[in-house]
Structure 1
Amino acid sequence: MKAFFEAIQSLFVDFLFKPHDWLRALELDNWWLANIVSWALILIGAKYTIYWCKELKKHQDNNEENQDTTAHSFLK
């Protein structure tokens, strides 16, 4: 049973966390390059937030959304 858990440890430490170790070492040389993944995720999130707001505005302008408080049974 001990070998099973050591195999899981080896999988994560020796293989799956290697990119994280590389980024951690890279941060000492170039902070911007090391955080490119974070910046990319922030930009993707901002893009889809803007898209979602535009879609909500489009539905509101077409009066497709029922904003009456009695529209939901749990609000009665």
Structure 2
Amino acid sequence: MRAFFEGIQWLFENIFFWPLDQLRALELSCWSGANLINWIFMAICSYATWYWCKQLVAHKKSGEDFQDTTAHSFLTK
């Protein structure tokens, strides 16, 4: 059973975390290069948030957005 868990440890340390080890080594020589992926993710999330808000406004203006504040019929009594 111990060999099974050591195999899982080897898999994660040597295979799955290899890209993160490379980023950690890159950070020592080039901080901006190591953080480039963070900036890319922030740009993608910012664009997605902007697009989502734009679509919400468009649906509200067209009248497609129907909001019923009562979740169940017994709440209206």
- Normalised to the residue count of structure 1, the TM-score between the two structures is 0.86
| Runs (5+) with no aligned partner, structure 2 | none
Distance in 1 separating the partners of 2:67 and 2:3? 59
Paired residue secondary structure (2:64): coil
How do 1:1-76 residues align onto structure 2 when only pairs under 5 Å count? 1-70=1-70, 72-73=71-72, 76=76
Distance in 1 separating the partners of 2:44 and 2:72? 35
Deviation at 1:68, TM superposition (A): 4.8
Distance in 1 separating the partners of 2:45 and 2:26? 25
Letter in 2 for 1:73: H
Distance in 1 separating the partners of 2:64 and 2:72? 19
Q: Which runs of 4+ in 1 moved over 3 A?
A: none
Q: How many residues align?
A: 75
- Normalised to the residue count of structure 2, the TM-score between the two structures is 0.85
Q: CA RMSD, aligned part only?
A: 1.6
Deviation at 1:40, TM superposition (A): 1.0
Deviations 1:49-68 (A, max 9, x none): 01100110001101211245
| Runs (5+) with no aligned partner, structure 1 | none
Deviations 1:4-53 (A, max 9, x none): 00100000111111111110111111111101111111111111101100
